[in-house]
Structure formats: structure tokens, C-alpha cells
Amino acid sequence: MGYYLSDGIYPRWATFVKTISLPQGPKARLFAERQESVRKDVERAFGVPQARFAIIRDPARNMVKGYLGMIMKACVILYNMIVEDERDSYDLTFDYDDVDDNTPQPNVHPGHHPCYAAYLRTVAEIHDPALHACLQSDLIEEI
């Protein structure tokens, strides 16, 4: 299971590393500062390619990690080629509200997928807020 940097709008899932909105104490403040800084860097780096390549947005949840790596590399290469080709006329501003989110969701049925039970267990684990709190506490101590 991977981890994703997120802000306050995301749920308290075990895969989201959220910032602390009102950090109490020096450790929590340092964690919040570093998490927010890195999250903003990542958002800037992937915002425009995410708008150009729908495959980066939603379908990634159900893909094999090895494929995801290859897809990301291909999108980064294509994006760099586009930027180079359109260097003088390219607009680097990005607004998430302008992205159409009409990517179809995968059709998973219990009788058709051999790993459906494992999939449901993973989803339940991810949605556990106690795991999220434990992850955040461990990261605060690590930093």
C-alpha cells in the first residue's frame, strides 16, 4: 500500500498523509510545515500533466504498480516533449476546477474477479481512520 500527501479535504484514510490544521508543539509544527511544503511541490509538478493525461487521474487505483511506473514515465516524457514543442506559447497555470472528471470507474463484480475478497479487505484497511492517526503519529516522531 502506498501513501499520498493530501490536505484537509481528503478523508482520514490510512493511505493519506494529511497535514495538521492546528499543530500543537514543535514536532507537530515541523511535521505540518514539511508535509505542506512537499505536497505543494508535488501538486505543482503533476498538476499540468494530470490535466493533459486522464490515465494519471482516476484509473491508477486498480493498476499494477509496475504498470503505473511505466505509465508515469511515458506521461512525463510526452509532457516534456509537448513543453519543448510549445515552449513559447505554453501556459503553466493550472486550475483543478477546469478538469473534466468523466473517467469511467472499473466494473468489479464478486463473481468475475479472483482477488475480490483481497480487494475488499484492502479497501476496508485503507478506510480505517485509526490507521491514519497511527501513520501520522509515526511520521511526526520520525521527522
Where does the pLDDT of residue 99 fall: very low under 50, low under 70, confident under 90, or very high at 90 and above? low
* Each residue's pLDDT tens digit, 39-87: 888 777 777 777 777 777 766 666 777 787 788 888 888 888 887 777 7
Amino acid 51 reads A
Instruction: Give the chain as a DSSP string.
Output: ---EEE-TTS---TTEEEPPSS--SHHHHHHHHHHHHHHHHHHHHHHHHHHH-GGGTSGGGGS-HHHHHHHHHHHHHHHHHHHHHTTTT------GGG----PPPP---TTT-TTHHHHHHHHHHHT-HHHHHHHHHHHHHH-
- pTM here? 0.49
Note down the domain range covering 21.
Answer: 4-142
Looking at the structure of the chain, the number of domains it has is: 1
